[in-house]
Amino acid sequence: MSTAYITDELCFWHDPGNYALMLKPGGYVEPYNRHIENADPKRRLHNLLQTSGLMDQLTVMPARDVLAEELTRIHSAAYVQKVQQLALQGGGNTGVGAPISSNGWDAARRSAGCALTAVDAVLKGNAQTAYALTRPPGHHAEPEQGMGFCVFSNAALAAAHAIDVYGLKRVAIVDWDVHFGNGTQKSFENRADVLTISVHQQAGYLLVKGEADELGTGLGLGYNLNLPLPPGCGFGAYREAFEQVVLPALDAYRPELIIVPCGYDAGRFDPLGRMLLDGVAFRWMTDAVLDIAQRHSQGRLVMTHEGGYCPVSVPFWGLAVLEQLSGCSSQATCPFTPQHDLMPGQQLQSYQRDLSRQLSAHFEEVRQRHWR
Ligand SMILES: [Zn+2]
């Protein structure tokens, strides 16, 4: 069984507009003509998949546009209409820090369509696993507003699609983007049929917190797990957090499908994250989640590409993930891997071990108390 790969040129054409970092140029901010969320990291990953020969071993599938009635599984009709209107008017901000241009309605629907196509591929049995190279990204977008470069909540829409169309009863979302997946959490906070897990840099994003005491509400109480990690975590800290908390939670939940909002901004060169991960870590995390998928989910694993802002390193982290996901190897070797063992920060530090133990005990209690 193969790995489906879904993207679309229109995703690379998504245009947040004229920015410097995420600032409108003006005053003392010199024009830069480049929003920090630009096409480079994702396009360069796409290019590396081609030049390295990995693309030839993936099942490349065409994307489609998400339908309005599919969007309203997660987003309000008013918000969907707002995005369309903004694009018609030439562009604007869909919420908080999520600007689009005149092609934004089309690009965002195509991006979400990539995620839904990935779910279809896996649940129809046309592929074992699937990778949706989505842009704009999705995991910050909330039901009522765009946020943090994200317009529609791609991974949440994918989970809702799996439940509504294929009748799944338990879907797990494991978000390892360095920023808190607030949009995904909000989409399912009162539902137990989607277990949302976000591993992120603590307090590293605007307005929303993503602390470990945010457990969901109502029927969803206990089915939202946040692992806020301190800045500076390397492979050892992530492996510990996964082994102590993420993997046991997935094992206990027994998901029928796993969706990974896969960001690369916990990578060590990222301008918007303060973590130390490299291809070694991304390979390990992919394997770890794949192992759970093979045990509980008939191997069904879908990834949606989220953040990651270093145009040079992201392609190699992405190649690492896609090699593990597909079980195929490419001709490219990662130029950063030889440095892995030279970096002391890749080792687990005692304070990181203590934190994972605390989170493990905390969530064990949550499971005992609230899981049905
Ligand atoms: Zn991010």
Q: What is the mean pLDDT of residues 201-216?
A: 95
Beta strand segments in the chain, E:
3-6, 20-21, 34-35, 59-61, 91-93, 95-96, 99-101, 129-132, 146-147, 171-175, 194-201, 224-229, 257-262, 301-305
**Ligand 1 centre and the CA of 177: distance in Å?**
5
Sorted by where each begins, the domain ranges of the chain are 3-22+30-370
**Ligand 1 centre and the CA of 167: distance in Å?**
30
DSSP 4: E
pLDDT of residue 367: 97
pLDDT band at 49 (very low <50, low <70, confident <90, very high): very high
Distance from the Cα of residue 262 to its chain's centroid: 3
Position 202 pLDDT exceeds 90: yes
pLDDT of residue 309: 98
The greatest distance separating any two alpha carbons of the chain, rounded to the nearest whole angstrom, comes to 56
Q: Give the chain's mean pLDDT.
A: 98
Position 283 pLDDT exceeds 90: yes
Which residue is catalytic, options 46, 75, 140, 305? Answer: 140
Position 129 pLDDT exceeds 90: yes
Task: Answer whether CATH 3.50.50.60 is correct for domain 3-22+30-370.
Answer: no
**Ligand 1 centre and the CA of 139: distance in Å?**
8
pLDDT of residue 105: 98
**Ligand 1 centre and the CA of 42: distance in Å?**
13
Residue 140 a catalytic site member: yes
pLDDT of residue 352: 98
The residue type at 96: V
Q: What is the mean pLDDT of residues 87-113?
A: 98
pLDDT digit string, tens, across residues 141-186: 999 999 999 999 999 999 999 999 999 999 999 999 999 999 999 9
Percent of the chain with pLDDT over 70: 100
**Ligand 1 centre and the CA of 48: distance in Å?**
21
pLDDT digit string, tens, across residues 177-196: 999 999 999 999 999 999 99
pLDDT band at 82 (very low <50, low <70, confident <90, very high): very high
pLDDT digit string, tens, across residues 225-269: 999 999 999 999 999 999 999 999 999 999 999 999 999 999 999
Structural contact between residues 199 and 229, judged by C-beta atoms closer than 8 angstroms:
yes
**Ligand 1 centre and the CA of 285: distance in Å?**
17
Q: What is the mean pLDDT of residues 10-37?
A: 97
Q: What is the mean pLDDT of residues 338-362?
A: 98
Q: What is the mean pLDDT of residues 191-214?
A: 96
Position 9 pLDDT exceeds 90: yes
pLDDT of residue 1: 72
Structural contact between residues 87 and 110, judged by C-beta atoms closer than 8 angstroms:
no
Percent of the chain with pLDDT over 90: 99
Q: Say which residue the tokens 């130390």 belong to.
A: 276
